Chain A
Amino acid sequence: MALDVQIEKKLPDFELNVAFSASEAPLSILGPSGAGKTMLLRCIAGLEQPGHGRVSLNGRVLFDSDQGIRVPARRRRVGMVFQHYALFPHRTVAENIAFGLLELSREEQAARLSTLIARTHLEGLAERYPRALSGGEQQRTALARALAIDPEALLLDEPLSSLDTHLRSQVEAQLQETFAAYRRPTLLVTHNIEEAYRLGEQLLVLSRGKVAAFGSKEDVFRRPPTREVGQLTGCKNFSRARRNADGSVEALDWNCRLRVEQTISRPPAFVGIRAHHIDFLESTPPGAASENVLPCWLVRTSETPFRITLYLSLRQPAADTSAYDLQAEVFKEKWQRFRNLPHPWHVRLSPDSLFLMPE
């Protein structure tokens, strides 16, 4: 089971140029708006023609510019869930789902329909029209409809973006359940970092039409290969870096010397750490020489219900400046324990949490 994709297509602002393959592990495609994510899915589904390249699914060539093969969308057996679901408004839920079942006998259609309805928890809604469904129900209908054709690959375009926040975790669970049962190439496009992480096993980061990172999600998040991927996966803290003769790393923007666990073959250009990996020491360390411990001053804060983001300066800040060097995120409980300590505070950048990027 494999979907192999190699596509080049000129877009108004840049060129989409990607190559990757996906097996049965769900693959999240993460990228900012306008990175070419949707276009990539549309090319695989056969709704757009790439300028050049090759797409094959389980050995079946769907597109090959050299051989002039262009299998039309209706013969690709690639299920697609559109961002706004694209449910047929004049057909009921059952009629929507059964749209792709035309070639089956009446009995088979009915049997398959009820399996799909049960699998997507749409019991009791079969006779409704899409307009009378909630967002989550519409999403499930779209999913059931795409699965009806027994697709060899499943493509989902921003499956959660049109849903209210409180529905997302519910729909996410449904999607995870579906993916676990489906085990065929599944591509899921999103600009939401957490969605990409929760729903995918593999992760592909797309930036202006190019693959910026591709691998297991743990690897990509833990050790982003470039600064750009670091930013796209939500990392907030970067400093220009240089390797010292003794193997430590000089963080030029943070004006300090750090020990970093990770070793990379190329000389590092940047060092980074995620906001929630910054550790606040609740008592002043014994000597100033403590490894990877830096004094810092609070510049400002920003709260969410359970966490707080602290903007920190590594130099004693002038009263009127809001310039900061580090952005840290901690649970409020933790914050309560050190918020009243006298400045400077001390943060530890754990050698294990720091990562290096050659570009």
Chain B
Amino acid sequence: MDLSPLWISLATSVTATAITFVAGLAAAVWRERYTSPAMALVDGIFLLPLVLPPTVVGFLLLLLFGRHGPLGKLLLQFGATIVFSWPATVIAAAVVAFPLMYLTSRAALEQVQPELLQAARTLGASEWRVFREIALPLAWPGVLAGTILSFARALGEFGATLMIAGNIPGRTETIPIAIYFAVEADEMQRALTWCAVDVVISLALLSGLYYWTRAQGLGRAQRMAR
């Protein structure tokens, strides 16, 4: 059996999560600094991929990255086409996972007492150091939860991926897409196998992270109470 959907799915999810981690966190930090009412619109845009049907997201990405789209044209000048290639699966997964990372880490960062950040500033810390050494460690449980949610969302991404990356076996065929086309081609055995693989990965991931965060949380609590 061709295992490529497994590797493609994992590579896509890991890469997309890494991108989302940085982008979502950066957006959350940036957004936290401003309180103007106009920011509600920015919030709306950031959360759009969460509420729109994935097919709509995929279609919009297609317009953006397609041959005649603004980003597509730009990339074409460098001789790159994104649509129907592996990077397209990453883009689709990252975009749909972004709101989850953004929302969760913003909520976590807002929980950090502003006085702690201010204290760090009076002690001479740069904004980067304030973030790296105070805000991020204290918001870490929430940031981690956002990362897990993002990874899970990226792993399960189907609609937008199909729109922008298509189904090219060995290149853009992720597990969810493999399942869909297996069912369509009436290859029930193959569909079932991939379903089982997906369930196993998800369960392993979730339970592994559960034990890891619990162990970390306990260790942290014990350390701080010492």
Contact = CB atoms under 8 A, between A and B. Distances in A.
A132 B121 contact: no
B134 to A, nearest CB: 6
Contact of A47 (B121, B124, B134, B223): B121
Given A82-B115, A88-B134, A128 B121 contact: no
B197 interface: no
Contacts of B126: 74
B124 A79 contact: no
A78 B226 contact: no
B138 to A, nearest CB: 6
Contacts of B223: 129
B123 A86 contact: no
Contacts of A132: 224-226
A88 B124 contact: no
B122 to A, nearest CB: 5
A131 B224 CA distance: 6
A80 B224 contact: no
B203 interface: no
B122 A148 contact: no
A145 to B, nearest CB: 7
Given A47-B118, A86-B119, A88-B134, A74 B224 contact: no
Interface in B172-225: 220, 223-225
A42 B224 CA distance: 29
Given A74-B126, A102-B124, A82 B137 contact: no
Contacts of B138: 89-90
Interface string B107-140: 0000001011011111111100100011001100
A131 B225 contact: yes
Contact of B118 (A73, A89, A90): A73
Nearest to B122: A80
Interface in A82-140: 82, 84, 86-90, 99-100, 102-103, 127-132
A238 to B, nearest CB: 39
B215 to A, nearest CB: 17
B141 to A, nearest CB: 11
A249 to B, nearest CB: 49
Contacts of B125: 74, 99-100, 102
Most buried by A among B115, B133, B137: B115
- Say whether chain A's binding surface is mostly helix, strand, loop, or mixed: loop
B222 to A, nearest CB: 10
Q: Which size bracket describes the interface of B in this complex?
A: 20 to 34
Contacts of B113: 86
Nearest to B223: A129
Contact of B122 (A45, A90, A102): A45
Contacts of A129: 223-226
Interface residues of A, number: 33
A73 B118 CA distance: 8
Contacts of A90: 137-138, 220, 224
B137 A74 contact: no
Nearest to A155: B122
Interface string B75-119: 000000000000000000000000000000000000001011011
A329 B138 CA distance: 51
Contact of B119 (A46, A77, A82, A102): A82
A22 interface: no
B124 A80 contact: no
Contacts of A47: 118, 121-122
Contacts of B133: 99
Contacts of B119: 80, 82, 86-88, 145
A337 interface: no
A75 interface: yes
Contacts of B123: 74, 99-100, 145-146, 148-149
A72 interface: yes
Nearest to B134: A88
Contacts of A9: none
Contacts of B120: 88, 99
A131 B226 CA distance: 8
Contact of A74 (B115, B124, B134): B124
B124 A100 contact: yes
A84 B121 contact: no
A274 interface: no
A295 to B, nearest CB: 55
Nearest to A97: B123
A47 B118 CA distance: 7
B124 A149 contact: yes
Contacts of A227: none
A149 B225 CA distance: 27
Those 8 A-B pairs whose CB atoms lie nearest each other, nearest first: A100-B123, A86-B119, A86-B115, A73-B121, A129-B224, A80-B122, A74-B124, A47-B118
11 contacts: A72-B121, A74-B122, A82-B115, A82-B119, A86-B113, A87-B119, A89-B224, A99-B123, A99-B125, A128-B226, A129-B226
Given A99-B120, A100-B124, 20 more contacts: A45-B118, A45-B122, A46-B121, A73-B122, A74-B121, A74-B126, A76-B122, A79-B122, A84-B115, A86-B113, A88-B120, A89-B224, A90-B224, A99-B123, A100-B125, A129-B223, A129-B225, A129-B226, A130-B224, A131-B225
